Amino acid sequence: MSLRKPRRSTALPQRQRGAVIVLIVIALVAILLMAALALDGGHMLVNKTRLQNAVDAAALSGAKTLQLGMGSSGASIQARDAALNTLRLNADAAGNGELDSGIGTEGVGAFAIVELSNSVYGPFSFPGPVDARFVRVSVPSYSLTGFFWSFAQSFGNGGMGDKAVAAIATAGPPPCGVVPIMVCGNEAQHDPENGNFWGYEFGDLVKLTCSTPGSPSAGNCQLLDFPGASGAADIREAFCNGIKQCVGGTVVTKPGMSWGPVAQGLNTRLGQYSGPVGEACRPDWYTNYSEPLVTGDPPTYQGEGVSDGGERGDLWAGAADLVDIKDWQEASETCANNPGTCTGKRERRILNVVIGDCSAAGSGATTLPVLGTGCFYLFQKVEQGAVKEVFGQFVEDCGSSDQLTIQLYKTYIDNAQTPSNDS
C-alpha cells in the first residue's frame, strides 16, 4: 500500500468572488424590511390614537344628545347626527388631514357606524330600542397609506393583510338602575382626587340598612320610595334588578319595610332563590362569601372587629381573612379572560346605592338631597330574620346626581359580554 500525500487545494481566490456581495444584499434587505416595518408600525400607532380619540368624542357627543332628547321623537337620529358631526369636526381639525382623507367623498356616514342600546352590554342596533341610553360608535376599517407595507408583504408576509386600523367606543349616562337604599354621606368629606367620596373610601365595609347614626326618618331602614314600587313583587324586582329610572336631585325616604322581599331580591345576586323571583334575576359570576356572617354596627365577625379594607380592599377580623372585594375582582377577571367558564352575569354583586344628605331628615316620609350614587359590593347574603342588615364594600363613585353627566364605558362586542380589544 502506498501512502499518498494529500494534495493542497489549488482553487484560486478569484473563483470565490461574489459570495460576500450576496450576504451584504441579504443583510441590506433585512435591514430595509425592519426599517419599513418600524416606519409603518409607528404610522399605524399614531393614526390609531387619533382615530380612537375622534371615536371617543363622537360617542360622548351622541350619548349627550340622546340623553337631552330622551323620549322625544327622532332622538336616535339626532344622536347619530351629533356623533357623526363630532367625528367630522375632529377630522377637519389641524393635524388630522389623513383622517379627513380616509373619510373620503362617501362621507362620514359610510366611514363610521352609530348604534344604540339600553344596556352597555348590548345588543346595539339603529335606531335601537325606545329606551336607549348608550351610544356605540365604531370604525371597522380605516385604510392607511402603505409606504413600505407592500414591500414587506412581498417577502412572504402577505398574511399581514392591508394596512388599516379600527376603533370603537361606547358612551352613556352614569348607572340608573339603583337599588332603593340610601346611605348618608358627608359633602364636606368629598375629595375624589384622594379617593374619598362623601366619607367613603375603597374597601370600606358599610352597613347599608338600619345603620348608625340611625335611619334618616322614623321607622325607616334607609329604604327609598320610588314611583311604581309598592307591592312585594315590585320590591323583589327593585332589589333584584334595580329601579329602572335615574336619580334626580332628591329622593324620598320610605318609612316601614317589607324585609322578606328585600332579602329575596338581593340574594338572587348570590344565586340563592326563595319566593317568586323571576328568571331575569341571575347570580353574579362569583357567589362566595365568608361564613358565619358579619353582623353588627360597627361590623364584627365571630366577635372580632373587622379591620379597614386598605388599598386592595382586604378585610380582616382577628386572624380571619374574609372573602371580600379583592377575591371577587380576581375571580371576575379570571371569568372575563376565559369566556364560557363561568355561569351567571357579570358584576351582579355591584349595587348602585344613593348617597344622600341626611342632615335634613325628619319623621315619616322625608325628601332628602342627593349627593351622588356609590357602587357597593354586596358582601354577603341577607338574612330574613329580625336583624335587618345589608353589608356592602364601597367600590367607587357611580355618578353624580347630575344625570346629564356622560362617560365612556368598556365596549362589549357580543351578548356574551366579551370586551373589545379596541376600547
Q: Is residue 419 part of a domain?
A: no
Residue 160 has pLDDT above 70, yes or no: no
Span 112-135, pLDDT tens digits: 999 998 877 788 999 998 878 899
pLDDT number for residue 297: 85
Percentage of the chain modeled with pLDDT above 90: 34
Residue 342 confidence (pLDDT) above 50: yes
Shared-domain flag, residues 144 and 191: no
The secondary element (H helix, E strand) that includes residue 393 is: strand 391-400
Q: Report residue 143: phi and psi, to 5°.
A: -75, 140
Report yes or no on whether pTM surpasses 0.75: no
416 vs 66: which has the higher pLDDT: 66
Number of domains in the chain: 2
How many whole angstroms separate alpha carbon 170 and alpha carbon 83?
Answer: 11
The answer to whether residues 147 and 286 belong to one domain is no
Indicate if 223 and 161 belong to the same structural domain: no
Q: Are both 54 and 143 inside the same structural domain?
A: yes
For the chain, give the mean pLDDT. Answer: 81
Those residues with Cβ within 8 angstroms of residue 178's Cβ, 6 or more apart along the chain or in another chain: 242, 243, 247, 352, 353, 354, 373
Question: What is the per-residue pLDDT across 10-27, written as a single tens digit (0 to 9) for each?
Answer: 555 555 556 677 677 777
Lowest mean pLDDT among 124-138, 342-356, 385-399: 385-399
155 and 266 inside one domain: no
Cell of 315: 378585610
pLDDT of residue 401: 41
Does any domain span residue 336? yes
121, part of any domain: yes
Residues 31 and 76 in one domain: yes
Residue 367: which pLDDT band, with cuts at 50, 70 and 90?
confident
For residue 402, the model assigns a pLDDT of 44
191 and 323 together in one domain: yes
The pLDDT value recorded for residue 32 is: 65
Residue that terminates a domain, selected from 149, 172, 195? 172
Asked if the structure places residue 18 within a domain, the reply is no
Relative orientation angle of helices 75-92 and 19-68, to the nearest 10 degrees: 140
Q: Is residue 281 one of the residues assigned to a domain?
A: yes
Q: Dihedral through CA 239, CA 244, CA 247, CA 250, nearest 10?
A: -70
Q: Based on the fold, state whether residues 89 and 137 are members of the same structural domain.
A: yes
Q: Of 172, 196, 216, which residue constitutes the final position of a domain?
A: 172
Instruction: Give the separation between CA 51 and CA 45, rounded to whole angstroms.
Output: 10
Q: In whole angstroms, what is the distance from residue 237 CA to residue 228 CA?
A: 11
* Residue 403 banded pLDDT, cuts 50, 70, 90: very low
- The residue with greater pLDDT, 169 or 72, is 169
Position 2 pLDDT exceeds 60: no
3-class DSSP state of 358: helix
Quote the domain boundaries for residue 378.
179-404
Residue 415 lies in a domain: no
CB 351 within 8 A of CB 392: yes
Euclidean distance between CA atoms 419 and 101, whole angstroms: 30
Q: Quick one: 230 and 137 in the same domain?
A: no
Residues 37-57 have pLDDT tens digits of: 666 677 778 888 899 999 999
Q: What is the pLDDT of residue 65?
A: 92
> Residues 193, 249: one domain?
yes
Q: Radius of gyration of the chain from Cα atoms? A: 30
Least confident range of 72-76, 146-150, 214-218 = 214-218
| Any domain includes 202 | yes
Looking at the structure, do residues 75 and 183 belong to the same domain, yes or no? no
In a domain? residue 36: yes
Of 157, 172, 187, the domain-final residue: 172
Residues 302 and 184 both lie in one domain? yes
Average pLDDT over residues 223-251: 76
CA atoms of 284 and 332, how far apart (whole Å): 9
Given pLDDT bands bounded at 50, 70 and 90, which one contains residue 330?
Answer: very high
Strands 164-172 and 407-409, sheet pairing: antiparallel
* Predicted pLDDT of residue 122: 80
Q: What is the mean pLDDT of residues 304-324?
A: 88
Predicted local confidence at residue 37, as pLDDT: 65
Please report the pLDDT score of residue 57 as a whole number: 94
Rounded Cα distance between 175 and 398, Å, is 7
